[in-house]
A and B are shown apart, each in its own frame.
Chain A
């Protein structure tokens, strides 16, 4: 067993893989809400990925990766026994853990994996945890069992109604509050528009909202400032001040535009990669 080695690889759906990786120092220091930066190859990007779970005794960390661009495609083609080239972490500020009473933990798509450690930690210190999991369709709804294990109540919703309730996480949250739940705080991770609208709804419902932001990052240590976000009208660095922020005053529209900065280049990279690797990796 060597550092950065993939001990377990599990396919969660057609685009999402789970990796259990040997990385003792990170496993020892990790807290809910933190992330690592992964690199797969020489010349490769530094990609921030949320720490989903960790086991200090076994010296392992768990990450869940969705193939969305060249780098994540390449990560997800690594096999058990392979090693990531670099893993740096744990990075970012851990989510402050306290007893709020009742909390909502809301995950969308692969964001479910990212809220899992927060739900687990909130539950462990005595919160009543209501988890709301959303996905486009049944096959994309991951970690339901694990979320149920750390939640007092778990609600699943899909856009197409193929599993659980038909509709958005916002519908489920509204219904929950209408049924009489007094929710003090809510933690949401998912696509930016989903976080934007869920945060807005939470404010309307009297729930203190928190959202975990995913801007473009390079070093992840506060050195480059590429991950600038606007919160309460101030510039904050998501890598060190976040990634979880009080969501009332996050400028989500700015974040959407900033994360789209390299859309064209990302497309070029994927096309070139697919052309070069079509035969070898069988992506299609």
Chain B
């Protein structure tokens, strides 16, 4: 009999005052003992609301049952029936919004730690050598190319290969993973985990190339001639800036630049690595999303005197995951709510010395129901800073659309899809941030999987 009333096993984490000085993973994997206790809490309800709430439909009760039975290889295979990136999903999915948010135990005993179990399954199965890439179907003779190697393209490529197509992934940077690699810090997602997940997709026979920027190195139209179908999963990748005076001062980073220096280029290991980074004494991060939390927590690990996240509205309206906000607070990141940045103050050498803000109060809700910030006259103040990180969002990178005149984009620069989910070009599909403008890893993966099904149908499969 399951034991739902057993306390939820959350595993252990590095203590905040220790982890804020290193880039090692914050949360540790569940131990075998913890995993078995946790698996035993699952009721295996027939309606499986968790699975229904998962955008990629992971067979959650089935994999947990296999964990409970001690068959970790089978558990991994159950997950991989619908998701080929379990070690990543187990770590970065917002489970509280999806599977765990719908667990029937949630109200009374606390949801089953599905994310923790998924991560345990992937890590343990991989360590034991029983995580097996699925065997692809017989070759279809069709060639498909996936642009980008982020979560959306990886999911699409793996699914297409499973269906028996000849699949190639083209990445613009020098390492695979897209936003997983340049955006998400190693203390949330170790680089080794990304490498291993990519290796699994490679083991299925998907071909990968770095250093190909579609639109520059090769045109989309050339790819259309060479391949039977194209998937564009090239992500967001165009940072939004504030448009306030002083934004080009030395010491002002976009979140993309700051995170790329640290995560992709490993600037925190400088001079062992060659890309530098500099934070000074006081860091201000502007924004309230997950990138702002990641940037602030990365900045903290470079050990300045203070890191402050400044956000226009109040804590309630912040789009970041609650857990990320809590982690940041535990690591001594400070928050300044209800402030609007007005001007970056700089010295005679064009270096940042501070930021002038105006205080806000909350007004009427906007179209999304979030209360709008309203400036309070005469409330200006200056906060000293050596480094300012602008984390207010991004838009799709226009490299492909600019060099493909027939590819329709919306006013916001995202690739336009028709009601069937196709772009304006036959055989060209798109998903992830290039159609959403900035979403989550999980939704990007879902788009990739959905597109793979559409591409299958387009290529005459089932």
Residues of A within 8 A of B (CB): 25-26, 29, 39, 43-46, 70-71, 85-91, 218-219, 221-226, 228-230, 235, 240, 251, 253-254, 257-258, 260-262, 265-266, 268-269, 272
A261 contacts B278, C-beta separation under 8 Å: yes
Q: Mark B66-92, 1 if CB is under 8 A from A, else 0.
A: 000000000000000000000000000
Measured between alpha carbons, how far is A43 from B264 in the docked complex, in Å? 9
Q: Which of A222, A253, A260, A261 contacts B237 (CB 8 A)?
A: A222
Cα A88 to Cα B251 in complex, Å, equals 27
Which of B218, B239, B272, B398 has most A Cβ within 10 Å? B239
- Contact A45–B241 (Cβ < 8 Å): no
A206 CB to closest chain B CB, in angstroms?
Answer: 30
B266 close to chain A: CB less than 8 A: yes
* B217 beta carbon closer than 8 Å to chain A: yes
Q: Which residues 167-188 of B have a CB within 8 angstroms of A?
A: 172-174, 182
Q: Write out, one digit per residue, whether chain B residues 239-262 have a CB within 8 A of any chain A CB (1) or not (0).
A: 101010001101101101100110
Chain A min CB distance to B78 (Å): 36
Supposing A90-B216, A257-B349 touch, asked if A265 and B237 sit within 8 A by C-beta, the answer is: no
Q: A229 vs B253: C-alpha distance in the bound complex, in angstroms?
A: 13
Instruction: Establish whether residues B217 and A269, one from each chain, have CB atoms under 8 Å apart when the complex forms.
Output: no
B197-218 vs A, CB cutoff 8 Å, 1 = contact: the mask equals 0000000000000111100111
Are A224 and B257 touching (Cβ within 8 A)?
Answer: yes
Known contacts A43-B266, A224-B256, A268-B271; can you find 5 more A-B pairs with CB under 8 A? A45-B265, A85-B174, A89-B217, A219-B173, A258-B250
Q: Are A25 and B349 in contact (CB under 8 A)?
A: no
Instruction: Tell me if A43 and B269 are in contact (CB < 8 A).
Output: yes
Which residues of A are found within 8 Å of B3, using beta-carbon distances? none
Q: Is the CB of B272 within 8 A of A43?
A: yes
Q: Which residue of B is nearest A70, CB measured?
A: B274
B254 contacts A88, CB within 8 Å? no
Tell me the interface secondary structure of chain A in the complex: mixed
In angstroms, how far is the closest chain B Cβ from the Cβ of A232?
14
From the candidates A45, A221, A226, name the one contacting B397 in the complex (CB within 8 A).
A221
Taking CB as reference atom, which chain A residue is nearest B215? A221
CB of B14 closer than 8 Å to a CB of A: no
Complexed CA–CA distance, A25 and B238 (Å): 25
Determine if A25 and B212 form an interchain contact, defined as CB atoms under 8 angstroms apart. yes
**Once the chains are docked, how many angstroms separate the CA of A9 from the CA of B213?**
27
Q: Taking A29-B218, A39-B174, A85-B174 as contacts, is the C-beta distance between A226 and B257 under 8 angstroms?
A: yes
Select A265's contact among B216, B250, B278, beta carbons within 8 Å. B278
A269 engages B247 (CB within 8 Å): no
Contact A254 B257, CB 8 Å, known A25-B217, A86-B211: no
Q: Are A261 and B250 in contact (CB under 8 A)?
A: yes
Q: Residue of A at shortest CB range from B402?
A: A240
Complex: how many Å from CA A251 to CA B248?
A: 11
* Partner among A44, A85, A88, A262 whose Cβ is within 8 Å of the Cβ of B213: A88
**Does B273 count as interface, using CB distance less than 8 angstroms?**
yes
Determine the distance from Cα of A70 to Cα of B182 in the docked complex, in whole angstroms.
23
| Contact indicator B238/A222 (Cβ below 8 Å) | yes
Whether B211 pairs with A88 at a CB distance below 8 angstroms is yes
Q: Which residues of A contact B278 (CB under 8 A)?
A: 261-262, 265
A-B contacts, 16 of them at CB < 8 A, read A29-B218, A43-B266, A43-B272, A43-B273, A43-B274, A45-B275, A46-B174, A219-B173, A223-B237, A224-B257, A240-B399, A253-B350, A257-B349, A258-B248, A261-B251, A265-B270
Q: A26: which B residues are within 8 A, CB to CB?
A: 217
Q: Given A230-B248, A257-B350, A265-B271, A218 and B238 touching (CB < 8 A)?
A: no
B interface residue count range (under 10 / 10 to 19 / 20 to 34 / 35 or more): 35 or more
Question: Do A87 and B211 have beta carbons less than 8 Å apart?
Answer: yes
Asked if A254 and B350 sit within 8 Å, CB to CB, the answer is yes
* Pairwise interchain contact B276-A228, C-beta atoms closer than 8 A: no
Q: Do the beta carbons of A269 and B271 come within 8 Å of each other? A: yes
Closest to A234 in B: B243
- CB pair B248–A254 under 8 Å, yes or no, is yes
Contact A91 B253 (CB under 8 A): no
Chain A proximity of B177: nearest CB distance (Å):
14
Report how far A235 CA is from B174 CA in the complex, Å. 27
- Find the A residue at minimum CB distance from B269: A43
B241 and A235: CB pair below 8 A? yes
- Which of the listed residues A39, A70, A226, A230 has the most CB atoms from chain B within 10 Å of its own CB? A226
Residue of A90, A235, A265 near B276 (CB, 8 A) is A265
Please pick, from A39, A224, A230, the residue contacting B260 in the complex, using a CB distance under 8 A: A224
Q: Which of B268-313 contact A (CB under 8 A)?
A: 269-276, 278
> Could you tell me the distance between the alpha carbons of A46 and B257 in the complex, rounded to whole angstroms?
13
Q: Which of B173, B248, B276, B398 contacts A222 (CB 8 A)?
A: B398
Task: State A226–B278 Cα separation when bound (angstroms).
Answer: 13
B174 proximity list for chain A (CB < 8 A): 39, 46, 85-86, 88
Contacts of A260 in B (CB 8 A): 250
Give CA–CA (A157, B253) in the complex, Å: 40
Q: How far is the CB of B51 from chain A (nearest CB, A)?
A: 35
Alpha-carbon distance between A90 and B269 when the two chains are bound, in angstroms? 29
Which residue of B is nearest A87, CB measured?
B211
A244, B176: Cα distance in complex, Å: 30
Q: Quick check: B253 and A226 within 8 Å, CB to CB?
A: yes
Chain A residues within 8 Å of B251, by CB: 261
With A218-B257, A219-B260, A268-B271 as contacts: A228 and B218 at CB distance below 8 Å: no
CB contact under 8 A between A228 and B248, given known A86-B211, A258-B350, A265-B270: yes
Known: A39-B174, A235-B248. A218 touches B237 (CB 8 A): no
Residues on A with beta carbons closer than 8 Å to the beta carbon of B257: 218, 224-226
Docked CA distance A75–B350 (Å) = 32
Chain A, residue nearest B398 (CB): A222
| Beta-carbon contact of A86 and B210 below 8 Å | yes
CB distance from A281 to the nearest CB of B (A): 16
* B173 neighbours in A (Cβ, 8 Å): 88, 219
Beyond A26-B217, A87-B211, A91-B216, is A222–B260 a contact (Cβ under 8 Å)? no
Task: Tell me which residues across on chain A come within 8 A of B398, comparing CB atoms.
Answer: 222
B216 near A89 with CB under 8 A, answer yes
> In whole angstroms, what is the CA distance A153 to B452 when docked?
59
**B266 and A224 form a contact (CB under 8 A):** no
Return the chain B residue nearest A256 by Cβ.
B350
Closest to A88 in B: B211
A144 to chain B, nearest CB (A): 32
